[in-house]
Amino acid sequence: MRIYATYNIKGGVGKTTTAVNLAYLAAASGLRAALWDLDPQGAASFMFRVKPKVKGGGRALISGRRPLDDAIKGTDFDNLDLIPADFTYRNMDLLLDAGDAKPGAVPGGKPARTLGRLLAPLAPDYDVVFLDCPPSVSLVSENVLHAADVIVVPLIPTTLSVRTLEQLSDFVDEFKGHRPEILAFFSMVDRRKKLHREITEKLATERYEVAQTTIPALSVIETMSVERAPVPVFAPNSAAAKAYRALWAEIRSRTN
Amino acid sequence: MTPSLAGFIADSGDPQTWDDVVSGVLTSLGTEFEVVPERSAARCGERRTTWLDTFDWRLHKAGLTLEYFPGQRGGSELRLSGTGAGGTGKDTAQPVTGWQAARPHLLGDLGDGPVGARIGGLIAPRALIPVVSTSTVTRAYRLLNSDGKTVARLLLSRPALVTGLKAPLPPRVEVAEVRGYQGQARRAARLIAAVPGIRPAGKSLFADALSAVGRRPGDYSNKVDAHITADMPAAEAAATILLRLLDTVDANVPGVLSDTDTEFLHDLRVSVRRTRSAIKLFGDSLTGLTAGEVAFFAAEFKWVGDLTTPTRDLDVHLLDFEETARGLAAAKPDDLEPFRAYLQQRRRKEFRVLARGLRSERFRALSSQWRARLAAIQRDSAEGTRASRARSGRFQKAPGGSAGLLAAERTRVAFARVAKRGAAITQDSPAESLHDLRKRCKELRYALEFFAPLHDQDAYAKVLGDLKRLQDCLGEFQDTEVQIGEIRILAAAMLTAGEVPAVTLLAMGEVTAGLAARQRAARADFERRFAAFADVEGQRRMSALLRGTGVRYRINADIRDV
């Protein structure tokens, strides 16, 4: 089972749309896929028309009282399941730090690796799992970075976003043992803007961890929340659908 | 799938009725769900399914179902469902190429994959045989909740048999769950249940298709399991047992002739051997057959047994070949390859002789005459009892004794022979005495198995368990000796036939050394195994078993008499 996380410290950069579209494309290619909507806002759950509610809330999942397996919902698409968001996820930092992450666990011990342990039992059933993270630097995001094999980082083409990527790389480099691969890509790219063109071309050439594929700023992507479905479902021939297919192909070829 | 979701079948396959059912189902579901046609092509359209199992239903017995779905452009797959063989209840799928649905396939044809990994140990060396095929046209709908989320799927299918008759099977209405929405699926099933013209499907599509071709799962077994009772006349019970054995012989002949897998010949041989033992044990109780006729049939079955021996011996060598080659210490596994090629060549030759024999008029006549005579004995014996009962108005003792008496008498004698001959074996006894004891053990084993329905099952299991372990020990002792002798003969024949590499002869020598070591170990284990079966406790267990047939014996006294 390979775990992909869409992560960025900043909000509104396209993490959820990326997670939803990539998870759909993975499932459509025949892989058994699951997406865990870790964002208490529940945008990914909304797009799959699943109620953002988990029985017992985040506490039941984090404490191990309720296995992750129990919370899984089938989406409308073959091979693709969802672990929905829950409003109690807003307190997930506290839950992870409370030390009751697992029965018998030492209080405060290894709280940064709890999500990875919770995901491990899903390995026989899924080929890929996507984690859609809330925008923050927190114990939740640290958990996600430890659990993931690949961190997919959507970047808005600004100078500041490059700094964000560097900070993330430095942080991951300090991990002992398992370190996730980082693959960033430019999202919401407006080719009419000179700055966007310059930054995307420069960084894709200079930095190995930046993907060649970019996702353009297109209104069809914004309509995902109206259609409540991945782009390839309601606009399979759109430029956006093609861009996401290319991105998934590049991620797979570069990180496998 | 919960029981309420097992599906429904239409009362009639009539097109008008089916249209009414579909209309009723869609209307009923429409009261609580938005019902929209399914977009996914994978669930709609025509799909052919072939169910596979071994001839002796090993997958079915293990709680597994194996289906083959042909696909276009190499998209064919095998799908294994069920909880047996390490399954978690989730289906296991494996793509296959070059698979032909209509013909049997050996394990090697599966290639590497999750299905092969799960069932390999279970089915080998048997072939997977197509059991029945259907072609199903399915229409699918999605049931949506108020958020427009798919919470269940409705599948309307019209299956038909492909195998043989091409007859339509009852149309099916099924609700497929979406994970995490079981409640909605159950609600949909309740709505469907109220629609006129359909009823819950009692059986799976596989079971429906099997019934339609006059079969049922597990309809072949190499076990004797004859339907006999203790108060049945001895002649009727004897004929019933022998007819059951003949059924097994006949059932295996086509598989032997088509060389589908080696177990057909094995099962055929076991049934022939059991038949010969049964004739020896209770041939005299077959009222209506003269001693000369009994001797004739016994000799004919000996001929069949002898006919099958060379091919089976070579099968055993070839089946064990990989393990034998892996077990070589000094020689390399490849050194044995010329030996394998020679064995295969010899087998082809011996198989031709075997096939000629089984296709011969002599074999056909034996089967048909034996069946006719046994059926007549069974019928006459049963009618005789009924007539006797009708005259007197109450139950009479069966003429010629009852099956219970026959079972107790003959099993007692067989046990006493084993106990007496085994007790006479010492460290210095020749190998022949152990071989002879093995034969007597086989006779006893068959006697126990023939009359198994008459025994208390707990007492039977205890006696049989100890006997099996003794037989395993004696079998290992004799089989290794036979194999050593055969390898020597084969080595000589290979030398005569032409040049044989020296390394091959050396490797064959190492194989015989390994067999000799196994034989010595079996010999050393004999006393312990025999004591466990036939000591005072063993004799008590046998007495207890025979008391269950209504006849009281003191086994230890019998041993002195035999």
* Amino acid B552: pLDDT: 53
Question: Which residue of chain A is at minimal alpha-carbon distance from B176?
Answer: A74
**Domain residues for A144?**
2-255
Is B147 touching A (CB cutoff 8 A)? Answer: yes
CATH of the domain at B43: 2.40.320.10
Is B388 near chain A, with CB under 8 Å? no
Nearest to B153 by CA among B161, B163, B144, B162: B144
What does the pLDDT read at residue B98? 82
Total number of domains in chain A = 1
**Interface predicted TM-score of the whole assembly (ipTM), two decimals:** 0.86
Determine the Cα angle at A112 with ends A111 and A114, to 5°: 65
- Residues B393, B516 within the same domain: no
Q: Is B1 on the interface with A (CB under 8 A)?
A: no
Do the Cβ atoms of A189 and A157 come closer than 8 Å? yes
Structural domain includes residue B380: yes
Q: Is residue B231 part of a domain?
A: yes
Q: Supply B193's token pair.
A: 């249940």
Q: Is the CB of A74 less than 8 angstroms away from the CB of B178?
A: yes
Q: What does the pLDDT look like over A212-244, one tens digit per residue?
A: 999 999 999 999 999 999 999 999 999 999 999
Same-domain status, B113 and B17: yes
Q: Supply the pTM of this predicted model.
A: 0.76
The predicted pLDDT at position A109 comes to 42
Residue A198: which CATH number?
3.40.50.300
Chains A and B form CB pairs within 8 A to the count of 28
User: Residue A132 in contact with residue A36, Cβ under 8 Å?
Assistant: yes
Residue that finishes a domain, picked among B369, B401, B433: B401
Q: Measured between beta carbons, which residues in chain A are less than 8 angstroms from residue B180?
A: 71-74
Pair (B237, B383) in one structural domain: yes
- Interchain contact, B147 vs A74, CB within 8 Å: no
Task: Report the distance separating Cα B61 and Cα B54, nearest Å.
Answer: 10
Contact: B179, A73; criterion CB under 8 Å: yes
Of A72, A76, A124, the CB nearest to B180: A72
Identity of the residue numbered B203:
K
Report the residue of chain A nearest B179, measured CA to CA. A74
Cβ neighbours around A191 below 10 Å, total: 11
User: Which CATH number characterizes residue B449's domain?
Assistant: 1.40.20.10
CA distance A194 to chain B (A): 42
Segment-wise mean pLDDT, segments of 10 residues, chain B, 562 residues: 58 74 93 90 84 96 93 81 70 86 88 89 94 92 95 92 77 92 93 88 87 89 89 93 97 96 96 95 90 96 97 90 78 81 92 97 97 93 62 48 89 90 87 90 92 88 90 90 87 83 87 90 88 84 77 52 48
CB contact under 8 A, B148 and A78: no
Q: B511 and B472, same structural domain?
A: yes
Q: How far apart are CA A98 and CA B556, in angstroms?
A: 74
Asked if B178 and A124 come within 8 Å (Cβ–Cβ), the reply is no
Query: Which residues 423-442 of B are in CB contact (within 8 Å) with A?
Result: none
153-192 in chain B: CB under 8 A from chain A: 178-181
User: Does residue B521 lie within any of the structural domains?
Assistant: yes
B149 touches chain A (CB under 8 A): yes
Say if B150 is an interface residue toward chain A (CB within 8 Å).
Answer: yes
Co-location of B382 and B236 in the same domain: yes
**Do B62 and B183 lie in a common domain?**
yes
Residues of chain A with pLDDT under 70: 98-112, 256
Structural domain for B346, as ranges: 227-401
CA angle B56, B58, B60 (to 5 degrees): 105
- From chain A, which residues contact B within 8 Å (Cβ)? 48-51, 71-74, 76, 78, 81, 124-125, 228
Amino acid identity of residue B98, one-letter, is G
Tally the domains of chain B. Answer: 3
